[in-house]
Amino acid sequence: MEKDIVLIIDDSREFTEDLKLMLRDKFEIITADTANTGLELLQKNQVAVLLLDLQLPDIHGLDLLERIHNEIDPYLPVIIVTEFDEIKYVVKAMRLGAYDFLSKDFHVDLMKEKINQALQQKRLRLNISGLQNQNMLTDDSFVFASEEMKKVNFEISRLANLNFDVLLSGETGVGKDMIATQIFQRSKRKDKAFISVPIRTLTETLLESELFGHEKGAFTGADRMKVGKFESANQGIVYIPEISNLSESIQLKLLHFMQYKTITRVGHDPRKGEINLDVQVIMATNDNLEELINKGKLREDFFYRITGVTLKIPPLRERRDDIVPLANYFLKKYTAQFINHDYSFHKDVLDAFLEYEWKGNVRELSNSIKHALTYSENQILTLEYFPSIRRRKSGLDRNIQFKDAEFMSSYRDFDNKIKKQYFESLLDTFDGKVSEACKIAQLTPQGFRKILKQLGIER
């Protein structure tokens, strides 16, 4: 295991040599006897903690502290170690972001403890930085009853106990965000950061900076160093949905990270070492990745890396035992916002739910219930408040069947029979409301009533 690097900036050679002897069993120690040499070392090394003297030959320690936090690393813990422990220096150092202030007559165990505490604080600040821009993926409960999802549930628990990067595969709206959240909540990383990256909202340059961070001056507007999502999520999980939208350059950087668990920020100085991280990656896609390889949109080596551990979530139409439990769950969840919570589904609605294809999967089911509750005029939700399902049930494919004898009639009689059954079925679906039925038939109310009269349908 690599040791954390501690940089000592102090012009007393004797003091720095003593500190090196005291700390080298726990940390890798590098030293500088001037502020400018210290700045060069900070540019070349991934320094974890800085021990800083105030009286330096070229720049005052407090001015150096301000410059480091403004120009190099705002999260670098700095412990002031000096003989000049006057209160005015202590107060100013703390205002400038120093982690602690010690006089040079410290005990070695105290120094080790302070360094360890500073490292913990840095990790916490990085996690908080990442969490501030993070939206929780879902606050929904994980509801299922089907055998298909029982198998998925088992796989979630198994993957949560492993440390592998995972690809979630499934159609849009099938519940990939929910599965990613479940893996996190059941894992040993559950008390650490869980950060989702909104790929579609970012350009390639911004996405690279968002994922991996950037150094000061890396591009126009980069006026200070930025910590990326991977650093912020150290010891936690980064979730990347819609990975098929990643550019080739991002695929390469992500491939490197998944292989070696190291990153470099945008604008990285090649003299500076890579940053080692402990981050699990969960990715998701609703695309056929092999087709994307054939189209040149996905690198083949990236494909084989990310598909090593894949969990496929079946569409809702292939796990119909989940439909009613999910519908009841969403109904209860959304009616909690109403004064009167006593809403229920009409039996015809639940029957229709079970027959419907749900091409938008769980998301479509959830949104359809929201829509029904918004426009319902009573507490029993009937089919009239579910337009997409209602349109399907009004079609001729399932509701109109004919006996062989009926085909032994004239075309005009048979045509009238079909039309009559169509319009009667349409009116039955909408409880006789012409204003609703005419929208499906794409007729004006006047035209609709005229056809009813011609067909002898009285309503």
First to last CA, the chain: 82
Once rounded to an integer, what is the mean pLDDT over residues 139-145? 85
Residue 104: its H or E element:
none
Least confident range of 64-73, 81-90, 262-271, 286-295: 81-90
20-64 pLDDT per residue, tens: 898 988 899 999 999 999 988 887 787 889 999 998 999 999 999
What are the DSSP E strand ranges found in 172-236? 194-196
**Mean of all residue pLDDT scores within the chain:** 85
Once rounded to an integer, what is the mean pLDDT over residues 127-136? 50
Once rounded to an integer, what is the mean pLDDT over residues 55-78? 87
Percent of all residues in the chain with a pLDDT value above 70, rounded to a whole number: 90
Residue 237's beta-bridge partner residues? 194, 280
Q: Report whether 381 contacts 346 (CB < 8 A).
A: yes
Cα–Cα distance between 335 and 382 in angstroms, integer? 16
47, 297, 422 from 239: Cα distances, Å: 27, 21, 49
377-425 pLDDT per residue, tens: 888 999 888 887 865 554 444 444 545 445 455 667 767 778 888 888 7
Domains along the chain with CATH numbers: 5-124 (3.40.50.2300), 147-312 (3.40.50.300), 318-455 (1.10.8.60)
